[in-house]
Copies of this chain bind each other. A is one copy, B any other.
Amino acid sequence: MASTTPSSSSSSSKLCFNSDCKDFKSDRPKKGWRLRTGDLAQLCDRCGSAFEEGRFCDIFHANASGWRNCETCRKRIHCGCIVSSNTFVLLDPGGIECFTCARKNIILVGFSIVVRKCVPLPPLSGLEPSCNV
């Protein structure tokens, strides 16, 4: 997004990490996905915002292969892509679930365990169920 044109020797390091983007990073680049070195990809403002909003793959990888649907809500997720690798979980029988649905299910399972651990008491005993949690 920067408007300056740096010399060719340093221009590559100032380019947005997104290989589909020719913009330059700002002086304070936006942070993207975690690279295999452990560092975070440095992005221009536009790509960084797309990443923050979870729209990076929708915008830049729309025509790439690897898209699958969440088995619960059918949301499209780009699989086999480092950008979206933390947005879903792999299901035991195959397929994926988006992180939002997976988190809901974890909470529901957790709640179910709490309910099952509650010891039922006689009605009108004046006591709340005692929970062994």
In the complex, 10 of the A-B residue pairs with CB atoms within 8 angstroms, ordered by the A residue number, are A35-B92, A36-B89, A41-B92, A65-B69, A66-B80, A81-B90, A81-B94, A81-B95, A82-B91, A82-B92
**A24 lies within 8 A of chain B by Cβ:** no
Chain A, interface size category, equals 20 to 34
- From known contacts A80-B80, A80-B88, infer whether A65 and B64 are also in contact, taking CB-CB under 8 Å: no
**Chain B contacts of A64 at CB under 8 A?**
68, 94-95
CB distance from A130 to the nearest CB of B (A): 29
Top 8 nearest A-B pairs (CB, nearest first) are A79-B80, A82-B90, A79-B79, A68-B80, A66-B68, A35-B92, A65-B68, A80-B96
Identical chains bound together, number = 2
Contacts of A32-71 to chain B: CB distance below 8 A: 35-36, 41, 61, 64-69
Q: Please give the residue numbers on chain A whose beta carbons come within 8 Å of chain B beta carbons, in ascending order.
A: 17, 19, 35-36, 41, 61, 64-69, 77, 79-83, 85, 88-96
Q: A36-B92, A79-B79 are in contact. List 18 more A-B contacts (CB 8 A).
A: A17-B93, A19-B94, A35-B92, A61-B94, A64-B68, A64-B95, A65-B68, A66-B66, A66-B68, A66-B79, A68-B80, A77-B80, A80-B80, A80-B95, A80-B96, A81-B95, A82-B91, A82-B94
